[in-house]
Structure 1
């Protein structure tokens, strides 16, 4: 049985153009970082956007917490772990670090 969805065709662009005197459509809101976000963007807004001339993955448009992002340093995979004894936990962490693990998230005091 297929759901009976009504085909909706929103006409936001024409509505926004027609109601351009509406204060709400002309007022930008600001993110927590004080970045202005307009309710409607047009082609003219893209003319000054520099990142469209760059490729993702090439500086300065990289993702990650480091200046070189993940181009020179791979992702850090961490495991949250804790074992019954300090010796078992220590052996686990040492084995993983020896095999190339870059970070540890240690459970020091778990409820038993």
Structure 2
């Protein structure tokens, strides 16, 4: 298997351009869990949420410790193995 040649245009950009949604279709999308989301939340539905006045990265940290977290970088669990038993690690 070889890498595509950008000089000859083997990346398939034309096919990707044909699959882009129209502006009306881009306003809504489905998550992997099959939840329908809109590009702009309804202000009537979000007004009662307690954390909408907070900024990302500021206390109360309900949106993560960084401004782009967790929308850009998903939450991860690091692997910790081979150094001790679970009981010794949590002591």
Query: What's the TM-score, normalizing by structure 1?
Result: 0.27
Greater relative CO, 1 or 2 (CA 8 Å, sep 6+): 1
Larger helix percent: 1
Question: Which has the greater radius of gyration?
Answer: 1
